[in-house]
Amino acid sequence: MTEDTSSFEATLTCAQTLDAADTLAHMRASFHIPKHSDGKDEIYLCGNSLGLQPQRSAEYVQRELNQWQKLGVKGHFSGDYPWMPYHEFLAEPMAELVGAKSSEVVVMNSLTVNLHLMMVSFYQPRLLKQCILIEQHAFPSDHYAAESQLIFHGFDPKEGLMLMRPRSHEATIRTEDILLRIDQHADTLALVLLPGVQYYTGEVLDMKAIVSKAHEYEIKVGLDLAHAVGNIPLELHDWGVDFAVWCSYKYLNSGPGSVAGCFVHERYHDDEMLKRFAGWWGHDKTTRFQMGDEFSPIKSAEGWQLSNPPILSLAAIRGSMDTFREAGGIQPLREKSIRLTGFLRFLLETRLSEQVDILTPSDTEAQGCQLSLEVNSEKRTGKEVFDWLEEQGVTCDWREPNVIRIAPVPLYNTFEDVYRFVDILEAAL
């Protein structure tokens, strides 16, 4: 399905009309918008790398600093948001964003730490069933993690790491090719590890179909949702995903390096045979402070926790979660996102079709906020175009070897942002 562009015109007036009709336009005031050197708002199209700061975040973080100042250690048990259970306040709103039960979600660690912890439990290779399927040009950290897990288990990553490539002369991976690859290699696959949204191309994978196919052969599926959470609707529980991990500083706007999220399907919560790396914070809460030596995991995703989390980072995440709830959740944001990104694509195809190639699929089901652009210009390289955009007050994202990633975020970007960006890009070319 493609976006209906019949009401679009390649004019500033059209952009302003779309903004006037936008029922989420008020959400922009909930964020701090960086300023360009001329004192005007930047055209910030980089929420796929670092989301902007919600207005609530400083207030929420300051509240915990005040608690620490006034109460010291007693802050763990005092006030409206005591630190001891603080991560629990994030479970429900985070679960809403990923389509899970609250018991299946926990906020902890960083994405790659969580990925390793999950592979301890869900990557259980045998001699003939050892392979991990990931996409070619995966986010490097995922590639490193998968490769190092193979080495840890004594396997050669050249044999154990199965790379899913696009077809010749295509930029994105076809779902039918992933499903066929699983069919062909089911006897050797131990884990399918794929993104919800591919970071380089912006392609949304058909997660439901991939999980269903892998589970036909009892192959575990893990998802890296760094570019999916807060961007597109997800149904992790209903799809039957085994585990998922994500960061919270991109579309979740929770601050640089903020604490990540993790999903473990409820069917594993009571599985005492499942291997895991254990830590004190994952121990049964009713006996945790008895300080015993025998580990008794919490019967939820919390059972994979290692240590008590950094409260100041969780406070910033809570500010973001409350902002998402103010917007009405992911569904209205997704509806605006389809319209906003559709307008960006329309302008690029109308005005710059010969100078810009869009790698991201045009099907709205296969794209989120991000469009990945390759520049074809005799005057400037892609990197020179990117540098020009930065000089003109556009914040976007460059990825080697030749992609400019543009991500209009429905929480704070406008249709006029998109129009002005294309104006500046056209000038650069």
Residue 47 has pLDDT above 80, yes or no: yes
Residue listed under structure tokens 């001891």: 84
Residue 298 CA, distance from chain mean position = 26
CA 15 from centroid of its chain's CA atoms: 28
Distance between CA atoms of 210 and 222, rounded to whole angstroms?
10
| pLDDT score at 272 | 86
Mean pLDDT computed over 346-365: 96
DSSP structural state of residue 214: H
Check residue 147 and give its pLDDT: 97
d(CA 60, CA 83): 13
In the predicted model, what is the mean pLDDT of residues 15-39?
97
Predicted local distance difference test score (pLDDT) of residue 315: 98
* Distances 250 to 53, 77, 293, 351, 362 between C-alpha atoms, Å: 11, 31, 39, 29, 22
- CATH number at 62-325: 3.40.640.10
pLDDT, average across residues 228-234: 98
Q: Residue 377 has what pLDDT?
A: 83
Residue 124 · residue 115 · CB < 8 Å? no
Tokens 């763990």 correspond to: 76
User: pLDDT confidence of 380, banded at 50, 70, 90?
Assistant: confident
Q: What is the mean pLDDT of residues 169-177?
A: 96
Strands 371-375 and 356-358: antiparallel
φ/ψ of 164, rounded to 5, equals -95, 115
For the structural domain made of 12-30+328-428, what CATH number should be given? 3.90.1150.10
Percent of the chain with pLDDT over 90: 95
Q: State the chain's mean pLDDT as an integer.
A: 96
DSSP state of 21: T
Please state the rounded mean pLDDT for residues 256-275: 96
Residues of the chain with CATH 3.90.1150.10: 12-30+328-428
Q: Where in the chain is the domain with CATH 3.40.640.10?
A: 62-325
Q: Please give the structure tokens belonging to residue 56.
A: 């609530």
pLDDT value of position 416: 98
Q: At residue 4, does pLDDT exceed 80?
A: no
